[in-house]
Homo-oligomer: A and B are copies of this chain.
Amino acid sequence: MDRLFTPASIALVGASADPEKLSGRPYRYLQRHGYEGELFLVNPSHDTIDGRRCYDSVTELPRTVDLAMALVPARLTPQVVTECGAAGIPYVLVIASGFSETSEGAALEAELLDAAREAGVRLVGPNSEGLVNVPRRVGASFSSILKRESLVPGGLSVVTQSGAFGGALFQLSQDRNVGGNVWLSTGNEADLTTVDFLRHLVEDAGTDVLVSYVESLTRGGELLDVGRRAAETDTDLVAIRVGESPAGREAAASHTGSIASDDAVYEAVFEQAGVTTVWGVDEYVDLVTALSTVPAAAYPDVDAEAGRGIGVLSVSGGAAVLIADTCHRVGLPLARFADETVAAIEAEIPAYGSATNPVDVTGGIISQPELFERCMRSVATDGAVEGVVLQFGNSGGETVETCKAELLDIQAESDRPIAVVFTGGQPSPETATELREAGVLLFEDPVRAVRTLKTLADRRTARGRTARLPDRVDYADRRPLPGDGSWATVADALAEVGVSFARTVRVERADAAVDAAERIGYPVAMKLDPLVVDHKSEVGGIRVGLDDAAAVGDAYEALAALGDGVLVQEQVEGVEAVVGVVDDPDFGPVMLVGPGGVFVELFDDFAYRALPVTESMAREMVAETALGDLLDGYRGAPPGDVDALVSLLVAVSDAYATYDLAELECNPVIVTADDALAVDLLVSAGE
């Protein structure tokens, strides 16, 4: 996609002579921002615009261009795309609205896509606000981002499903001097999608921080590939993901025409792919500023057990308490200072201060600002400190002037992130700029400072995990489930790839049922084959605790009267879990794991992962639900075999990769002290 993102030549098809019109803006903006490639105007209604020749059609252009921007009304876009194909133009960016985001426009969008496929052209949009490449001076957009006289270049790229909101976010970063690389409004994604653009930009050396504003993803499973590459290319992935509420989903649908998968699945797969999600404007600004400022090598490596964490120096005991509490809330440990650090601080501050972390130098600094300066180095260079919060109060504007030289020295000597919080008194604009340019993070609210340091601390952990993501599987290439679809054949096929089941025998007569029960050992459970009869509980199709031949014989007669396929099953006691795989519309195969049985309704607590699930992922899933506690043994109950459950999850993932299934559910799986056995099963075959 280099020709798209860094086009050597651009044709503006339907360019207007009126620079105020949306179709007139791209020409003006490309000029304003100094586009250095060749620019062609195409508009049969004009001979020239701004003294520049207008061609009647792209087919008349003197050379093949890299990118055509279709500024024509919606109904004309298929024709333009066809002509672009004829002219050998590889990418067409369509800004017109009135496609699948309206009730009438879906057919036109299909027509546009057909035209593109036929012509061998790749589309951006329709309903896109365009594309900006800051360092290459490409302003192929009508977004008001480009109203600025100049843009600050840098490593931030934004791929947005909302042109207006994504534009506002990019503008906010520019306002805070966070340099930009590429900005792209994806529009309706009729052809190229968010994931396609992320795939390209994660390989782009100019992009360090890659943000996407997402309402719903097409081929979301590929986000895992992007995540793995991001870990390898040292790129930070950030998402603002919206559309989680019913009203939000409906609003998103009316806006882009698509309905997204369950929010819990989004959240899980984003985390799996190492994407940091932010909520709202402040979190976005704080995070992209920090990621753009603090080099990857400086990620704090916090470890509460080793005593490592952040160091806090505050002019106010009250703020110190708030910071300590916030660290606790977000799970960021406070460093345990070395004795020498405490002694050095104690020697400086009044007796009514606190020399341990968080340090309270006390209001004494109002008359002695050098107190703060003298303690800074002790805190920032303590071996356990991986990040620093310096909290100022109303006198912060003056205090920082006393401390500035020392602070800049400390930051220059170390790559630990330093957050300076000015609550009340503010630094002069010059000092603020000087600190920012030296790599110091500035805040007004200590809570936001701590949250930001926490996110920096998490990015190392996240990268380690995404770097180990397994290769994705081609689910198109699977074989059909063998057999007749009954329990015996399906369970056998699944057992072949490692899924364990409670011993189960299909019987055709009462005496065979008793024989089976004797071989299995009492008590046994009996039921109709769930793969043949659905909703067994409702029709009374399950019997448990059968502990002699008479009970088994009676149960056989009762069940056989209800339907075919009576099963006799080992009765297993233990912790119940639900395990399933669904074919998620946005992400493809996704596994769900959680407490089962009576705990389903009480906890409503499931973990999700896009397949394939590895052993370490399976272990995470168990730990992050209440299953972790339940299997740990509570109220004196024996602990359950977590390893066996983990193996079963991996086997279920393998089974889904092997057989052509749409859905697969084991509910419940019973986890005993030394095994994990599926006792019920539902499958539906792929189409």
Contact = CB atoms under 8 A, between A and B. Distances in A.
Given A327-B245, A367-B21, A322 B394 contact: no
Given A354-B255, A358-B247, A393-B168, A425 B144 contact: yes
Contacts of A320: 251, 255
A166 interface: yes
B394 A97 contact: no
Given A280-B447, A367-B20, A635-B598, A351 B321 contact: no
A242 interface: yes
Interface in A578-637: 597-598, 601-602, 626, 629-630, 634-635
Contacts of A22: 366-367
A358 B281 contact: no
A375 B97 CA distance: 21
Contact of A161 (B318, B350, B635): B318
24 contacts: A97-B350, A97-B362, A98-B351, A98-B352, A102-B351, A103-B351, A105-B352, A144-B424, A144-B425, A160-B318, A164-B394, A165-B393, A213-B318, A244-B325, A245-B325, A245-B327, A251-B321, A255-B317, A279-B326, A280-B447, A281-B423, A281-B446, A598-B634, A601-B634
Contacts of A255: 317-318, 320-321, 354, 360
Nearest to A24: B367
Instruction: Report the interface size class on chain A.
Output: 35 or more
A556 interface: no
Interface in A82-116: 97-98, 101-105
Contacts of A247: 324-325, 327-328, 334, 357-358
A673 B9 CA distance: 78
A167 B424 contact: yes
Contacts of A254: 317, 354, 356, 360
Interface string A295-319: 0000000000000000000011111
Contacts of A98: 351-352
B167 A393 contact: yes
A363 B172 CA distance: 18
A255 B626 CA distance: 38
B444 A246 contact: no
A631 to B, nearest CB: 12
Interface in A143-199: 143-145, 147, 160-169, 171-172
A19 to B, nearest CB: 11
A282 B445 contact: yes
Contacts of A393: 144, 164-165, 167-168
Contact of A166 (B280, B318, B598, B630): B318
B328 A244 contact: yes
Contacts of A104: 351
Interface centre among A147, A215, A356, A393 (most CB of B within 10 A): A393
Interface centre among A213, A281, A316 (most CB of B within 10 A): A281
A248 interface: yes
Nearest to A171: B424
Contacts of A541: none
B366 A280 contact: no
A242 B168 CA distance: 35
Interface in A627-668: 629-630, 634-635
A519 interface: no
A66 interface: no
Contacts of A363: 129, 163-164
Nearest to A320: B251
